[in-house]
Amino acid sequence: MKPADLRQRPPFFDVVRMLMDHQLLDADYVECGKVDDVEIEITDDGTLRATAIFTGPGAAFDHLPGWMAAIAKKFFGKRSKRIPWPEIALIESRIKLRSTSEALGLDPADRSAARWIAKLPGAK
């Protein structure tokens, strides 16, 4: 389903069921995180509109109880990335983005780990 179709389908779009915690795929169909949060805005006519999604440990940890979130952020960082709505190409069970994860600045840890691991024999 394309985002444009969603907008033409009033009155409801179940954000929690169709977006939250779903897998993100980048332009090359490589996994690049989960939808950890959704940004919603109230338009002038009072309707709600999803404007962006968030991915990254920082956004995910916000779903934990306060003290746990604080500990988790201390250990694993509070990095999270805002992905504007037009970047979404397709919403199915997995959510496809228009750009590569590198272009979006997602998963920097994966790329630095890959550089390190690639030096080992048999890693490539």
Nearer to other proteins, 47 or 112 (CB): 112
Sequence-distant (6+) residues with CB within 8 A of 12 are none
Round to whole Å and give the CA distance between 103 and 66.
32
Measured on CA atoms in the order 6, 82, 23, 17, is the torsion positive or negative? negative
Report, in angstroms and rounded to the nearest whole number, the Rg of the chain calculated over CA atoms: 17
Nearer to other proteins, 8 or 115 (CB): 115
Shortest Å distance, C-beta 88 to other proteins: 15
Nearer to other proteins, 47 or 92 (CB): 92
Round to whole Å and give the CA distance between 65 and 62.
8
Shortest Å distance, C-beta 76 to other proteins: 10
Report the interface residues with other proteins, using CB under 8 A: 20-24, 30-34, 36, 55, 60, 63-65, 93-94, 107, 109-110, 113-114, 116-118, 120, 122-124
Nearer to other proteins, 30 or 50 (CB): 30
Shortest Å distance, C-beta 120 to other proteins: 7
